[in-house]
Every structure is written in structure tokens, then in C-alpha cells.
Amino acid sequence: MEEEREDGGGGGSGKVVVVGLIEKATNSTRPEVDPRLLKAIKSVVRCSDYELRIASQTLMSFMKRDHSQVRYLTLLIIDELFMRSKLFRTVIVENLDQLLTLSIGFRRNLPLPAPQAVASVLRSKAIEFLEKWKTSFGIHYRQLRLGFDYLKNIHRFQFPNLQANAARIQQERREREMRTKEILLNKFETLKESFSSLKDEIQSTIDEISGCLGIIDTKDQNVPLVPVDDDDEMEEFRNSELRQIRLDSLREGDKVQESSENKVVFDALRELYKLLVTKHLVSVQEWISVLIRVDVADNRFRDVSLKEFIDIRNRLQLVKKKCEESGCALPNTVNNEDEDIWEEGITESSEIRTNKRSNDHDSESAPIEPRNETPCSTKVSNGNEEVSHEGGKAESNPLRNNLLAAAPVMKWGSFLDNWGSNRDFVANQRGLELEGHWGRVDYDAVIPADKIAELNVQTTLYKEEPMEIQLCRAPLRKGGLCQRRDLRVCPFHGPIIPRDSEGKPISQNSSMEKRTLELGTDLVEKLANQSLKNVRERDKDEAKKREYDKQALRRAKLAKVREHNEAVLWDAAVASTSRSSAIGDELETTNRRKSSARNKKQTLASMLKKKVTAKDRLAQRLLNTHSRDGTIKQLTLGEDANYREAFPNQW
């Protein structure tokens, strides 16, 4: 359409067209060129060599733009034309080094421009294109070969090597197919030989099973049955489910129960069943699949044996079903369940064990130790018995009893392991436990026991008293009461004061009373209340305003969407009408192009702009001097603490 129009125009206007088209095509943030524009460009340059030369110049100049997205789209167009036009190839190949510099960015002083993500895509695409060009036209253009060799040999770029890869994959697949075919054929041959013996084997198994079943069945008939009273009892059980259950149970009852006398038969049956399921059925299945897949010249044997195998399989399945009905069945599932249970037992027991262990620990921690007692006096390092033992002792020794009553309760900790031990400790430089790690140990560097005792002394034992923090209970705007728990002041509703069920402060009266007593404080309070009220009002206003803003924003967005829709519709209309809109076109295109260009430029520019992510914001926040100082202090503190923890014996 457009291009047809341009054909009439000739040289001067044509130039404008192809340049404009390219500009339009490259001015987009999408990862591919608009196919409509691309087609237009192609048909324009196809018609005249002049256009083609102009196009190549324009494309090269666009490649120099300082924006990877533009370069990327330009490169896509170049590739399209390169694969098609000989003239274009000869023109582009002249400046191939420049093109490669701009698209691959292999020169250190000319890296690819800004949006990094697009730049990397551009590079990989360019490399791919270069390889493609080289394989298709390399023989005719020394420059392509040169560029390829240069990048490959000197810059060691990894080319995707598409063609070779595809060939290799094809080759591999072919080889694999050949191998499988061969294997199948081999199997087929062996089957030919062993077919009869296989059949015999299966047949014998089936016979044995049927024999066993026969024995059981005969016994079955001996046993008196109870189907007689089945009917009248049916009357009582109206409920179908119940009836089903009953039927099942009856049928279960029908079955021959395994007993000492027929145990042998059952065992044999079970064995045979297992053989049937795990061996014969599987092998038959396998053979069937082999026969289906195998490709031989002589189909006769294959068809016959396939048929036979299918028969055998059906028979086997029948027998299997019978076996299952007869009661020796479901060995597998039962087994599984057994195993499951057993495993569960294990885990449980281990859990129990661990629980026990932790209990041990608890009881270990339980012993009460006097804070300042010398460590040699008691040894409670080894668990329960000793405690009980001590307990026994305690009764006999009232002094000790008293001491115990007065002693504070220590929390359980690792220091208890060495409680009261009198040995010296090796000061490991890394602060690691010696048992658990390999490392350099200096046996001369020891910390004497009394030092350790000193270090283990805990001078304060503060325990916070449990206390319930009151609810704020201020009435909320949306109804209900504020559920925040703060110690003194709720950040939203001021100081926590006793309130009634509706959230009204109860102590108002008391404060009124207080006013007569303490005027000064009252004034302060009043002022505070006033300010609070003011603040709340302002908050309310702001909330309202925010809502307004939000609405306005939504409206704007809708307007934008509408505008966009209109533009799209306009586009579509232009596309469908050919000549009629040509006149009005010019004017409007320029307008539209301007506007669209502005919009798009913004997007192109915005690609360049660094997006402010949460990470950045955080970084900025963190890099503030104020907060930095704070963090540094905090970090050093933390480090201190870590160090203290890591090197407890070096403090």
C-alpha cells in the first residue's frame, strides 16, 4: 500500500519513505521489528537499487545510535535485507568491520551502549547472524570469512554453530535409532529360538496354578456355606451400603481360609502367583512391545507370535484375577503396608528416643546450682540418676537442703557440660570445639580451670516478670476498637488509658477531678489533646485528598487507554483504506508520528534511565550518612557480640 504509493513518487520522495520507515521501525521498545513495517521496507528497497543504497546508509547510521535497542532493531532489518539482496550484501560487507564493532562491541574502546539487557541480546544475535551469513554467503565474500575468523580465532567468541549442532543432533538420533533397531532385531532372533520353550514354561505355570486352585475349590465345596439365610437377612438391611458391606463379608466368608492343612497349597499358589506376575506377565508384555516395534522383512512369524502372545497375556491376566479372588492375592500391597508400618515404627521409636534425650537434657538443666558455690562441691554433669541420688542425699542433709532452696535456677546451657570440672582447657584459637573439628591445636595454650570458673560466673540473672500488655481500645473510624498492644503510648491513639466497652476513656472524670488539684499538668494535657485533635483532622483531610488524587489518576489512565485505542483504530483504518486517505495522511501522520514518537521516545529514553528499584531505594537509604553511622555502630556492636560468642575463651 504505502510502497505502491511511493513507487509513483520516484527518487526524491522515495528516499524520505525508506528513511522514515526505518526510523519508524527502529523506534520501538519491542523485541522484534513490526512485521508490517518490515514488509514495507522490503518491498520498497526491492523496487529500486537507489532505495537500497539509501537504506543501507540509513541503517548503518542507525547502528551508530547510542541505544542498544535501536541498534538491535536495525540489526534485525539488516539481517532481513542481507539474506535477500545481493546489492545490499556487497554494500554492507564493505563496512563489515564497523557493523561488527557496533553490534558485537568487541573493541574495548567502543562498548555497546546503555540498556545492558538489550545489549547482550544484541551481541548474541549479531554473533548468530554473522555465523548464518558466513555459512550462506561466506564463499562469495571474503570479508565475512575474515570477520568470522577474526572473532573466532582472536577474540575467541563462541559461535552457536547452529548448522553443525543440528547435523550432530540428527546424526546422534539416527545412530540411536539404528542401535535400537539392532537391539530389537537381536531380541527378535532370540525370541524366534526360545519362543516354544517360553510358551511351555508359561503353560506349565498356568497349569500348576489351575491345579492349586482346583484343590482349593474342592475343599471349598466341602465347607458348609451360609447363603441360605442371606435373603431373609437382606430384608433387615435396607441400607445399600450396609448391604454391600455385608455381601463383602459374606463373600469373604465364602473363601477358603488358610489353615494348617492347606497351607502347603496356599504357599505353592502364592509362589506361583508371584512368578506369574513378576516374571511371565512382564516378559510377555515386553515381547509384545518388541514385536510391535521390530521391523523385519518377514512379517509372518511376527504376526503369528504377536497373536499368540496376546492370547497368552489374556490368559495370564485371567489366571491372575482368579488367584486374587481365591485369596492368596495382594501379596504386594500387604507387603508394602507391612514395610510402611515397620518404618513408621522406627521413626516413632527414634522420635521417642530423641524426646527422651531432650528430657534428659531438661532434667540435666533442672539441678539447682548455687551461684557462687565453688565448682568442686557438686557434680551434676551426668543426668538423672545423680539427681535422684542427690535428692536422696538432700533429705539427710538439711543444710544442703536449705542451700538448694536458696539457690537460683540456672538455665540450661553448654557451660553446664563442664560444670565443676577441674581440668584446664585448651584455648583453641578459632574458638571451635575440639571434638567436632580438625584443626591446629596448641596444647601449651591452656586456660586454667579457675579462670574458666571465673569466666562462667553469671553475675546477673534478670527475669522479666510476665505482664499482660493492655489493648489500646480506642474507637476506630471503621468501627471496632483498636487492637494494638503498646506499653504506654499507642502511635495512633495516644497514651493508653482505661476505656469502657465503647472505647470512651473512663478516666476522663478522674482527670477532671485532678484538674482542680493540679492545674499545670492539666493545661499541658489539654494542649496535648488539642494538638492530637488537630493532627487527626489533618490526617482526615489528607486521606480525603488522597482519594481524590487516586480518582483523578484513574481517570487519566482511562483517557490514555482511550487515546491509545483510537490510535490503534486509526492505524487499522489506514491499513485497510489504500488511496483514499493519502491526502489527509500526510498531515495526520506527521502529527501522529510526532506524538507517537514522543511517546515512544519516552519509552526508549526510559529504557536508558535506570529503574529505581526497591534495592536502589534501600541502597540510598543505607548510604545516608546518618543511617550509615547508625548501621556502623550497630554492625560493630553485632560484631562484638559475634566475636564474644565465637571466642568465649579468649575474652
| Residue 475 burial (C-beta neighbours within 10 Å; 0-12, 13-18, 19+) | middle
Among 146, 185, 277, 288, binds other proteins (CB under 8 A): 146
Question: Which of residues 141 and 266 has its CB atom nearest to other proteins in the complex?
Answer: 141
Among 1, 5, 20, 39, binds other proteins (CB under 8 A): 39
Residue 359: φ, ψ to 5°: -60, -45
Closest approach of other proteins to the CB of residue 168, in Å: 22
Question: Which of residues 84 and 251 has its CB atom nearest to other proteins in the complex?
Answer: 84
The distance of Cα 438 from the centroid of its chain, to the nearest Å, equals 36
Closest approach of other proteins to the CB of residue 86, in Å: 5
Site for other proteins in 68-127 (CB under 8 A): 83-87, 89, 94-95, 97
**Looking at 38-46, 267-275, 520-528, 541-549, which segment touches other proteins (CB under 8 A)?**
38-46
DSSP single-letter state for residue 152: I
Question: Which of residues 25 and 202 has its CB atom nearest to other proteins in the complex?
Answer: 25
Closest approach of other proteins to the CB of residue 152, in Å: 12
Cell of 319: 489366571
Closest approach of other proteins to the CB of residue 21, in Å: 16
User: Which has the closest alpha carbon to 495: 481, 505, 509, 483?
Assistant: 505
Residue tagged 582472536 (cell numbers): 154
The neighbouring-strand residues paired with 471 are 485
Q: Is 624 helix (H, G, I), strand (E, B) or coil?
A: coil
Question: Which of residues 150 and 301 has its CB atom nearest to other proteins in the complex?
Answer: 150
CA 378 to CA 367: how far, in whole Å?
10
Closest approach of other proteins to the CB of residue 426, in Å: 58
Question: Which of residues 72 and 133 has its CB atom nearest to other proteins in the complex?
Answer: 133
Site for other proteins in 154-213 (CB under 8 A): 154
Closest approach of other proteins to the CB of residue 110, in Å: 12
Residue 34 binds to other proteins (criterion: CB under 8 A): no
Cell of 184: 530389537
Closest approach of other proteins to the CB of residue 135, in Å: 11
**Looking at 136-144, 236-244, 609-617, 620-628, which segment touches other proteins (CB under 8 A)?**
136-144
Closest approach of other proteins to the CB of residue 140, in Å: 4
Residue 280 binds to other proteins (criterion: CB under 8 A): no
Pairing of strands 446-447, 425-426: antiparallel
CA 344 to CA 423: how far, in whole Å?
44
Orientation angle between helical segments 519-576 and 508-517, nearest 10 degrees: 140
Question: Which of residues 153 and 333 has its CB atom nearest to other proteins in the complex?
Answer: 153
- Measured from the Cβ of residue 67, the count of other Cβ atoms closer than 10 Å reads 20
Among 7, 20, 34, 43, binds other proteins (CB under 8 A): 43
Q: Is 83 helix (H, G, I), strand (E, B) or coil?
A: coil
CA 188 to CA 294: how far, in whole Å?
7
Asked whether the beta carbons of 493 and 482 are under 8 A apart, the reply is yes
Question: Which of residues 153 and 625 has its CB atom nearest to other proteins in the complex?
Answer: 153
Residue 42 binds to other proteins (criterion: CB under 8 A): yes
Residue tagged 566475636 (cell numbers): 643
Question: Which of residues 24 and 42 has its CB atom nearest to other proteins in the complex?
Answer: 42
Kindly report the CA angle at 480 between 477 and 485, in degrees rounded to 5?
100
Residue tagged 493540679 (cell numbers): 518
Question: Which of residues 98 and 429 has its CB atom nearest to other proteins in the complex?
Answer: 98
Closest approach of other proteins to the CB of residue 52, in Å: 10
CA 19 to CA 16: how far, in whole Å?
5
CB under 8 Å to 532, separation ≥6 — which residues? 494
**Looking at 144-152, 250-258, 271-279, 350-358, which segment touches other proteins (CB under 8 A)?**
144-152
Question: Which of residues 43 and 596 has its CB atom nearest to other proteins in the complex?
Answer: 43
The string of DSSP codes covering 281-298 is IHHHHHHHHHHHH---S-
Closest approach of other proteins to the CB of residue 81, in Å: 10
| Residues at the contact surface with other proteins, assessed by CB under 8 A | 39, 42-43, 46, 83-87, 89, 94-95, 97, 137, 139-143, 145-147, 149-150, 153-154
